[in-house]
Chains A and B, each alone.
Chain A
Amino acid sequence: MTDPIAPAIELKGISKAFGPVQANKDISIRVMPGTIHGIIGENGAGKSTLMSILYGFYKADAGEVWINGRKTEIPDSQAAIAAGIGMVFQHFKLVQNFTVLENVILGAEDGPMLGTSLARARGELRALAEEYELSVDPDQLIENLSVGHQQRVEILKALYRKADILILDEPTGVLTPAEADHLFRILDNLRAEGKTIVLITHKLREIMEITDTVSVMRRGEMTATVKTAETSPEQLAELMVGRKVLLRVDKVPARPGDAVLRVENLRHVDSHGVERLKGISLEVRAGEILGIAGVAGNGQSELLEVLGGYADATGTVRVNGKEIALSGPGSDGGARRACGIAHVPEDRQTEGLIMAYTAWENTVFGYHRDPRYQSGVLMNNALIREEAQDKMTRYDVRPPNPQLAARNFSGGNQQKIVLAREIERDPDILLIGQPTRGVDIGAIEFIHQEIVRLRDKGKAILLVSVELDEIFSLSDRIAVMFDGRIMGERLPDETDQTELGLLMAGVTGDPSGDPIKAVEASLEDKAAREAASHD
C-alpha cells in the first residue's frame, strides 16, 4: 500500500550532535524517485553526517527516516542495504588486492561456498555493464584499476545489492574531466531506469549540470531546497556561505618580469625506484602565476617536494640565475628558504603544520632560527606570540587565538596560518600546492586574493592544483603534467577544459575518433605500467 508518488527518501527533523558540535540540526528533506538530488554545502556543513545517518553509520539523536513512504529504522549498514540504499564513499571502500568480482560479492554472497556466488556475479556484472556503460574487467585486481574504474566497481557493488537509491559523496574529486563526464552519463542512465540518486558535492558546476533538485546545507542546517532549473550558481553560493561571494577571481593581466625560477630536465626517482619526474623543464617569471594542472599522482607532488627541498633530484634549478643544489648539503628546506623560496605544501596537516602545537609556534616553523627570534640561548617567545597575533588578525584567522593548537582550527583557517607564515617572509618565489583543498568557499575567496596580491607585488608563483577551475581562475600560464612529464603549456584564454582534460590524460595531438575512448585507453595504459612497475 505505498503511495505511488511517495518520496524515495524522506527525512523528518533529523538532528545529530557530536559532543558540543551540532552536526545536523532539525533537517527535513524529500527526495523524489527517479531524480538526481544534489546536496551542496561547505566542508563541515553536515552533508556527510546526514548521509552517514541514512547509511546506518550513525544513529540520529532525533528524527525519522522514511524510505518509499515507509518509516524505516536504519541501525546499521546491513539495514540500509536491505532498504535498497547503496553508498559510494569519497574514499572507496574496496579491498585493493581482491578482484573486482570478489569485491562485488563481499558481504552479499549466496551461500557459505564461493563458487556459485562468483559465477552468478559474473553474469550479473556483464548485464549491468551493458545496461549502464559500467564495463570493468571482473578478474582484474582493484589496485590495477584507474580511479574512475574503481568508482565504477563501487557503483556495481551497490547495484548488485539491488540498490534503488544511490548516494554518491564527492564523486568527481578524484576524476579527470573525461571520467567525470562518463560518470554523469552513467548517472543519467541510472535515472532513466528509475533509480534515485543523491549527489553530495561542493562543486556548483556539477550541481547545475546534472541535478534536478538541489538542497543547500550550512552549519548543520538545511537552508534551502530549490529546483536546479530555477536557480543560479551565484544564488547557491550565497545560500552556502550566507553572504555574497565572488566566484571569479578579480585580477588584472599579469606584467611578468624576468624568469626567477628556471628548471631544466628535472628528474626524481622515488623510494620504490619508480621515476616520478621524467625531465621537467619550466620557468616562472616575476609577477606571474604558473599553474600546474593534472590528475593527482602524476608527479606534481614530487615537483613541489623537490623544489621545496625535501626530495632529491637531478637536473638544474636556477633561482635568480644562481644554480641551487638538488641533493646533498645545501639542498634542504632551510637552504631553499634562504634563497627566497617559500612553500605552502599540499598536505598542510602533515607537512605544513604540526597539529599538536599552538598556532603561534606554527607561525615560525622553518624560520625559527632567525636571529630576530632569539634572545640569548632562548627563543624570544613573547615577540613570536605578538607577531602571531598580528598575522592572525591580518589574515582573518578565526578564532584569532594564537594559543590554540593547530588542529583546533578549520581547514581554511589552518591554511591561512600556513599562508601567513610563508607570505610574511616576503619570498621571491612561492610554491603552493592545493591551496584550497578542504577549504570552504569564503576562505577560498580570501586565499585566492592573497595569491593574486602576492603576484601583483612582483613575486613568482608556482601553483599546483587538481581543481581545474582554480587553475583557470588564477593562472597566467597553465602547464599540464601527466606521468612525470609536462604535456604542454597553454594560456588560459586560449584553451578550455576539454583540451586540458585530454592533456591531463596524456593525450596529445588530435585524437581521432572518440576522445573519451582515447582518454580511457591512455589511463589504462598508465595503470598497467604502474602495476608492472610495482612487481
Chain B
Amino acid sequence: MDFATLLQVLDSTVRLATPLLLACLAGLFSERSGIVDIGLEGKMLAAAFASAAIAAVTGSVWLGLLAGVVASTLMSGIHGLASITFRGNQLISGVAINFLASGLTVLIAQDWFGQGGRTPSLMGSGRFEPITLPFAQALSGVPVIGPIYAELISGHSILVYVAFLMVPLSWFVLYRTRFGLRLRAVGEAPEAVDTAGVSVVGLRYAAIVICGVLCGLAGAYLATGLQAGFVREMTAGRGYIALAALIFAKWRPWYALFACLLFGLLQAVALRFQNIDLGGITIPVQVMDALPYILTVIILAGFVGKAIPPRASGEPYQKER
C-alpha cells in the first residue's frame, strides 16, 4: 500500500468516524447520567431524515441541520418522558424509539417526496461543503506533512471539526465543571445527588437533551455531509456501533475518540478493500464489519481491563421509604 492510498483510507476513516463519535458522545452524556440509551440509532435516523428533507425543501443545509437536531431532541424527549418521568424500562423505550424512527422516516419520506422512501438528492447549499483550511494549498508541496495536512486534516465539512472539538469539550464539561460533577454523580449514586439538594430529574433531562442534540448532529452529518440525501435505514447500525464504542471507551471522552477512530478505520478498510487477501487466506468483508462487535464482546468479557458502567445506569430513581 502506497502513501497516497494510506492517506485516502485515513481520510475516509475520519469521515466515517465522525457520526460514530458524535453518537458515542451523545450516549456518553446520557449513560453518565444513568439513562441507558439504545435509541441512538433511531435518533440519528430521524435526524438524518429531517435534515435531508428540510435541506431539500428550503435549499439551506443550516435549516436542515436545525431540523435534524430538533427531530432527534424530540425523540430524546420521548425517551426521557418514558424513562425518567414515568420510570419505564429504558431498554424497551430505546428499542421503541428505533422502531418508531425506522418506520416514520420512510413513511413520511414516501408521502412527502414519493421517491420510494428517500429524499431528493441534495446539491449546492443543501449540503455541507468541505472546508479548505488555510495554507492547505501552499503546504501541499512539503513532503509527508504537506499531504497529511492538505488531504487528511483539511477538506472536511464543518461537522467533522465540530465532532472532534466535542471531545476536549466533553472532557472539560465532565471533569472540570459543576454540571459535570453532578452529572457523573447522578449516574453513579442518584440518592447522593438527591440528598445534596440537587434535582435528579433535572440533571437527567439535561443529559437527555445534550444526547439529543449530539445525535442530531450525527444524523445530519450522515445525510448532508457524508452522503447527499436520506435513504431508508441509512444509519446502518451506526448507533449500535457507537454504543459498542462507548463500552470500549469505558464511558470516557478521550477513549471514545480512539474507539471511534478504530471502528471508523475498520469501516474504511472494509469499504476500500472488500475482501482482504492475506497470501492464501481471504478475509471476507463481513469479518471487518463484525469486528467492532467482536472487540466489544472481548472488552466486556474482561480480557482488556474492565468496563464498568455507571452504577445507576438503567435504573429509574425512586426515593426510598
CB distance from B182 to the nearest CB of A (A): 7
Taking A55-B195, A94-B189, A95-B185 as given, write out 20 further A-B residue pairs in contact, using a Cβ cutoff of 8 Å, ordered by the A residue number.
A76-B197, A77-B196, A78-B197, A78-B198, A89-B195, A93-B195, A93-B196, A94-B192, A95-B184, A95-B192, A96-B188, A96-B311, A103-B192, A107-B198, A111-B178, A112-B178, A114-B175, A114-B176, A117-B178, A157-B196
B289 within 8 A of partner (CB):
no
A113 within 8 A of partner (CB):
yes
Q: Which residues of the other chain, A, contact B184 by a CB distance below 8 angstroms?
A: 95, 98
In the bound complex, do residue B178 and residue A95 qualify as a contact, i.e. CB atoms below 8 Å apart?
Answer: no
In the bound complex, do residue B188 and residue A93 qualify as a contact, i.e. CB atoms below 8 Å apart?
Answer: no
In the bound complex, do residue B195 and residue A77 qualify as a contact, i.e. CB atoms below 8 Å apart?
Answer: yes
Q: Which residues of the other chain, A, contact B181 by a CB distance below 8 angstroms?
A: 102, 105-106, 109, 114
CB distance from B191 to the nearest CB of A (A): 5
A sample of 24 inter-chain contacts (CB < 8 A) reads: A49-B321, A76-B197, A77-B194, A77-B195, A77-B197, A81-B197, A93-B189, A93-B191, A93-B192, A94-B192, A95-B192, A98-B185, A102-B181, A103-B192, A106-B196, A109-B178, A109-B181, A112-B179, A113-B177, A113-B178, A114-B175, A114-B176, A114-B181, A115-B176
Among B191-208, those with CB < 8 Å from A are: 191-198
A residues sitting closer than 8 Å to B (CB atoms) are 18, 49, 55, 57, 76-78, 80-81, 87, 89, 93-98, 102-103, 105-109, 111-115, 117, 157
In the bound complex, do residue B197 and residue A107 qualify as a contact, i.e. CB atoms below 8 Å apart?
Answer: yes
Q: For residue A98, which residue of chain B has the nearest CB?
A: B185
Contact with A along B132-158 (1 / 0, CB 8 A): 000000000000000000000000000
Interface centre among A93, A96, A107, A108 (most CB of B within 10 A): A107
A303 to B182, CA, bound (A): 40
Provide the main secondary structure of the chain B interface.
Answer: helix
In the bound complex, do residue A113 and residue B185 qualify as a contact, i.e. CB atoms below 8 Å apart?
Answer: no
Q: Which residues of the other chain, A, contact B196 by a CB distance below 8 angstroms?
A: 77, 81, 93, 106-108, 157
Q: Which residues of the other chain, B, contact A55 by a CB distance below 8 angstroms?
A: 195
Q: Which residues of the other chain, B, contact A114 by a CB distance below 8 angstroms?
A: 175-178, 180-181
Q: Which residues of the other chain, B, contact A94 by a CB distance below 8 angstroms?
A: 189, 192
- Across the A-B interface, give the 9 residue pairs with the lowest CB-CB distance, nearest first: A107-B196, A78-B197, A93-B192, A77-B197, A109-B178, A93-B195, A95-B189, A107-B198, A95-B188
Q: Which residues of the other chain, B, contact A108 by a CB distance below 8 angstroms?
A: 196
The 8 Å CB contact of B185, one of A106, A112, A115, is A106
A217 to B13, CA, bound (A): 68
Q: Which residues of the other chain, B, contact A49 by a CB distance below 8 angstroms?
A: 321
Q: Across the A-B interface, how many residue pairs have beta carbons closer than 8 Å? A: 71
Interface centre among B178, B184, B193 (most CB of A within 10 A): B178
A95 to B191, CA, bound (A): 9
Interface centre among A76, A95, A109 (most CB of B within 10 A): A95
Q: Which residues of the other chain, A, contact B311 by a CB distance below 8 angstroms?
A: 96
Q: For residue B180, which residue of chain A has the nearest CB?
A: A114
In the bound complex, do residue B176 and residue A113 qualify as a contact, i.e. CB atoms below 8 Å apart?
Answer: yes
Q: Which residues of the other chain, B, contact A106 by a CB distance below 8 angstroms?
A: 181-182, 185, 192-193, 196, 198
CB distance from A97 to the nearest CB of B (A): 6
CB distance from A517 to the nearest CB of B (A): 30
CB distance from B267 to the nearest CB of A (A): 33
A11 to B248, CA, bound (A): 53
The 8 Å CB contact of B189, one of A96, A105, A109, is A96
Q: Which residues of the other chain, A, contact B193 by a CB distance below 8 angstroms?
A: 106-107
Q: Which residues of the other chain, B, contact A105 by a CB distance below 8 angstroms?
A: 181
A114 to B176, CA, bound (A): 6
Q: Which residues of the other chain, B, contact A102 by a CB distance below 8 angstroms?
A: 181, 185
A80 to B191, CA, bound (A): 16
A124 to B99, CA, bound (A): 53
In the bound complex, do residue A87 and residue B178 qualify as a contact, i.e. CB atoms below 8 Å apart?
Answer: no
CB distance from B218 to the nearest CB of A (A): 27
Q: Which residues of the other chain, A, contact B198 by a CB distance below 8 angstroms?
A: 78, 106-107
Q: For residue A117, which residue of chain B has the nearest CB?
A: B178
Q: For residue B186, which residue of chain A has the nearest CB?
A: A95
CB distance from A169 to the nearest CB of B (A): 12
Q: For residue A89, which residue of chain B has the nearest CB?
A: B195
Q: Which residues of the other chain, B, contact A76 by a CB distance below 8 angstroms?
A: 197
Q: Which residues of the other chain, A, contact B185 by a CB distance below 8 angstroms?
A: 95, 98, 102, 106
Contact with A along B111-126 (1 / 0, CB 8 A): 0000000000000000
Q: Which residues of the other chain, A, contact B180 by a CB distance below 8 angstroms?
A: 114
A462 to B267, CA, bound (A): 62
A102 to B177, CA, bound (A): 12
Q: For residue A76, which residue of chain B has the nearest CB?
A: B197
Beyond A95-B185, A98-B185, A107-B182, whether A112 also contacts B194 by CB under 8 A is no
Q: Which residues of the other chain, A, contact B191 by a CB distance below 8 angstroms?
A: 93
CB distance from B113 to the nearest CB of A (A): 45
A78 to B193, CA, bound (A): 11
Q: Which residues of the other chain, A, contact B182 by a CB distance below 8 angstroms?
A: 106-107
Q: Which residues of the other chain, A, contact B192 by a CB distance below 8 angstroms?
A: 93-95, 103, 106
Contact with A along B84-114 (1 / 0, CB 8 A): 0000000000000000000000000000000
The 8 Å CB contact of B188, one of A57, A97, A115, A117, is A97
Q: For residue B189, which residue of chain A has the nearest CB?
A: A95
A285 to B189, CA, bound (A): 46
A409 to B317, CA, bound (A): 26
Q: For residue B179, which residue of chain A has the nearest CB?
A: A112
CB distance from B69 to the nearest CB of A (A): 24
CB distance from B200 to the nearest CB of A (A): 11
Q: Which residues of the other chain, A, contact B178 by a CB distance below 8 angstroms?
A: 109, 111-114, 117
A14 to B214, CA, bound (A): 48
